[in-house]
């Protein structure tokens, strides 16, 4: 999980699949990053390096979205392959945040 | 055609390992070696198996999960059984378009939305997918 901050936008790039065995570790890191970075306007999630996701991973993305946007920050997901994008649309998550390939 | 049959430990790590193995075996069958189908299958299998680990066997290291994958053209069928007490699913709630951000029925919503036919019989879940659906999607 790589974090970069540029122009008040925090980019999080997942380097391991967003699946149940990995999510607990991601949650801890993400909470720490959000505590450390207090001047953010936007959080961008980059999925370009991963191929697999499960409902635990989807739940994690939704919890990030809720956590980030409750303070008025923007949230979007980028780098989705076509299958992942279709899954997010199937779950109607595109009603809540931008999902980009 | 039997593609896979094995018992696995009640851990998320075992689920990941077994799903990767099943995907690899399906890649060796021409009709199943379709990228979008393999992605769907991976999501669905993870869902059913994670459910067995968490809610069925409650992460008990002494309990095992049975997993079988069969292909009866054009239908692929997944059977997953745990050692838990079984479950009941309220299909009406699962089918409804209620709050998509709620956690409660997300897993089974994914399965239904991906057009898998799911039956639950006690502690056994049988999910089937008709590959002719792929042409319509």
Residue A99 has pLDDT above 50, yes or no: yes
Contacts with B103 from chain A: Cβ below 8 Å: 59
CB contact under 8 A, A83 and B109: no
Is residue A4 a contact partner of residue A17, using CB atoms and an 8 Å limit?
no
Residue B104 confidence (pLDDT): 45
**Residue in A closest to B34 by C-alpha:** A83
Per-residue confidence band for A79, with pLDDT thresholds at 50, 70 and 90: very high
Q: What is the mean pLDDT of residues A64-93?
A: 93
CA atoms of A45 and A89, how far apart (whole Å): 16
Instruction: Dump pLDDT digits (tens) for B117-132.
Output: 988 888 999 999 999 9
**Which of B11, B50, B109 shows the shortest C-beta gap to A54?**
B50
Chain A residues with CB-CB distance to B13 below 8 A: 21
Mean pLDDT of A61-87: 94
Query: Best interface-test mutation with A: which of B35, B42, B97 has the largest number of A CBs within 10 A?
Result: B42
Q: How far is B73 from chain A (nearest CA, A)?
A: 23
- Of residues B94 and A91, more confidence is placed in A91
Instruction: Name chain A contacts of B16, Cβ cutoff 8 Å.
Output: 17, 19-21
Q: Which ipTM was obtained for this model?
A: 0.89
Q: Which pLDDT tens digit goes with each residue over B78-115? A: 999 999 987 665 554 555 555 444 554 567 777 878 88
Q: Is B106 on the interface with A (CB under 8 A)?
A: yes
Mean pLDDT to the nearest integer, B1-27 = 97
Q: Could A55 and B110 be called an inter-chain contact, meaning their C-beta atoms sit closer than 8 Å?
A: yes
Range in A4-8, A86-90, B42-46, B100-104 with the lowest mean pLDDT: B100-104
B33-62 residues touching A, CB cutoff 8 A: 35-36, 39-40, 42-43, 46-47, 50
pLDDT of residue B77: 97
Q: Is B103's Cβ below 8 Å from some Cβ in A? A: yes
| pLDDT of res. A46 | 97
Q: Check whether B45 has a pLDDT greater than 60.
A: yes
Band (B137; pLDDT cuts 50, 70, 90):
low
Q: Is the pLDDT of residue B70 over 80?
A: yes
3-state DSSP of chain A: CEEEEECCEEEEECCCCECHHHHHHHHHHHHHHHHHCCCCCEEEEECCCCCCECHHHHHHHHHHHHHHHCCCCEEEEECCCHHHHHHHHHCCHHHCCEECC
- Determine, for residues A66 and B101 on separate chains, whether the beta-carbon distance falls below 8 Å: yes
The whole-number pLDDT of residue B88 equals 60
Which pLDDT score, from 0 to 100, does residue B9 have? 97
Decide: residue A96, CB within 10 A, 0-12 exposed, 13-18 middle, 19+ buried.
middle
């Amino acid at each position: 999980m790589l974090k970069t901050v540029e122009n008040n936008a925090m980019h999080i790039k997942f380097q391991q699949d967003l699946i149940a065995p990995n999510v607990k570790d991601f949650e801890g890191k993400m909470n720490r990053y959000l505590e450390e970075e207090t001047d953010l306007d936007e959080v961008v999630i980059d999925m370009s390096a991963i191929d697999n996701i499960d409902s635990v991973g989807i739940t994690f993305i939704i919890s990030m979205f809720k956590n980030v946007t409750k303070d008025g920050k923007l949230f979007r997901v980028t780098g989705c392959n076509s299958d992942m994008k279709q899954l997010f649309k199937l779950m109607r998550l595109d009603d809540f945040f931008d999902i980009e390939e | 055609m039997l593609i896979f049959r094995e018992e696995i430990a009640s851990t998320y790590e075992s689920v990941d390992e077994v799903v990767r193995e099943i995907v690899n075996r399906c890649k060796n069958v021409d009709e199943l070696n379709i990228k979008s189908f393999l992605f769907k299958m991976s999501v669905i299998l993870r869902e059913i198996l994670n459910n067995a680990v968490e809610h069925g066997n409650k992460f008990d290291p002494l309990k095992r999960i049975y997993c079988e994958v069969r292909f009866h053209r054009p239908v692929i069928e997944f059977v997953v059984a745990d050692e838990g007490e079984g479950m009941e699913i309220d299909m009406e709630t699962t089918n409804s378009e209620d709050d998509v951000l709620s956690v409660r029925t997300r897993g089974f919503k994914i399965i239904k939305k991906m057009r898998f036919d799911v039956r639950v019989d006690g502690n056994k879940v049988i999910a089937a997918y008709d590959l002719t659906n792929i042409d319509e999607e």
